[in-house]
Amino acid sequence: MDSQTGSLTITNTRTEHDGDYTLQIIGSKVLLKTITVSVSSRLPVPGIIRDSLNITRLCHTCSDEVKVSVKEGDSVALKPYLTEIKDQIICLWMFGPNKSLIAKLNRKLCQIFLYNGPDGRFRDRLNLDHQTGSLTITNTTTEHDGLYEVTIEEKKEITYRFSVSVSGI
């Protein structure tokens, strides 16, 4: 790891280096990026140079959001990378460029709030899992297309972003 740039390079790459690598960027908010690496002796992999793998170069080609595609009428589950939420956590789900609050989970007070959105587009379509903080949108339409963001507040804030694309039937 380069101490000045934070760049991570794996040298003499082999198939045992296959797997998920998580990059945590700490700024005003904590951002997590997962990079899946597949090392093959037969196929070229972007980021491999002279038998080394520069994780940072791979990261620049990926987005800080998870892209999700769904057909109109189907349900979509947006899952933060948590298996279970601790009792002190608050999850805030926002939608769109104005980051309208659409769901809130407060484990400390055992409360879940679901909002219709500023124009009512989420009426009776949202479910929030109180164990994991996952948000499910049922019976999707193209008006549910867009950017979703969940902020998980505990000791630090962690934000996950999901770009949802809803295609017509």
Specify which residues 21 forms β-bridges with.
Answer: 35
Listed residue (158, 168, 167, 125) closest to 22, CA to CA = 158
pTM exceeds cut of 0.75: no
Please give the Cα distance from 168 to 139 (Å, whole number): 12
Q: What is the pLDDT along the chain (169 residues), one digit of tens a residue?
A: 666 556 667 766 667 777 777 766 665 555 566 666 655 544 444 443 334 455 544 444 344 677 888 899 999 999 886 655 666 688 999 999 999 999 999 888 888 999 998 899 999 999 998 888 899 999 999 999 999 999 888 777 788 888 899 987 6
Q: What residue segments make up the domains of the chain, in order of their start?
A: 9-62, 66-167
113: β partners:
104
pLDDT at 62: 41
Confidence at residue 153, expressed as pLDDT on a 0 to 100 scale: 82
Distance CA 118, CA 109 (A): 25
Cβ distance 117 to 94 under 8 Å? no
CATH tag, 66-167: 2.60.40.10
Q: Which two tokens stand for residue 71?
A: 């057909």
The per-type count for the chain, helices as H runs and strands as E runs, is 1, 14
